[in-house]
């Protein structure tokens, strides 16, 4: 499997349409809030797509993307906190990598 490219399928319930996006390592992305995908909580660059990638000496969890965090718009809790680095929120992790759910990661336009 090519770890630099992966199809991301976002399926919404109800009358919302199905969105598909093709994300690559190196793409600039916006990180969406879990309560409202239209709210951007941060911006960064993809550095890993999971399925074989590592994050702080642990495998990247299924359906997550490793992102080099550049900008924090809204300080929210991390989905995968890093206790050994005292990183529990986006602001704690600015300038380093975070893991974000694929369904909440969108290519910047």
Dump pLDDT digits (tens) for 46-99: 998 877 788 888 888 888 999 999 999 999 999 999 998 999 999 999 999 999
Which DSSP string corresponds to 36-93? -TTSEEEEEEEEE-SSS-EETTEEPPTTEEEEEEEEESS--EEEEEEGGGTEEEHHHH
In the structure encoding, which two tokens stand for residue 59, read together? Answer: 């495998």
Tally of domains within the chain: 1
Can you give the pTM of this predicted structure? 0.78
Name the residue range of residue 52's domain.
5-107
């Amino acid at each position: 499997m090519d770890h630099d490219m992966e199809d991301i399928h976002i399926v919404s319930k109800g009358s919302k349409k199905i969105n598909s996006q093709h994300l690559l390592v190196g793409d600039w992305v916006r990180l969406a809030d879990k309560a409202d995908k239209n709210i951007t909580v941060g911006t960064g660059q993809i550095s890993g797509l999971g399925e074989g990638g590592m994050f702080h000496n642990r495998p990247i969890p299924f359906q997550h993307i490793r992102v080099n965090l550049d900008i924090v718009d809204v300080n929210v809790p991390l989905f995968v906190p890093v206790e050994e680095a005292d990183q529990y929120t986006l602001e704690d992790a600015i300038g380093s990598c975070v893991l974000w759910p694929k369904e909440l990661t969108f290519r910047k336009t």
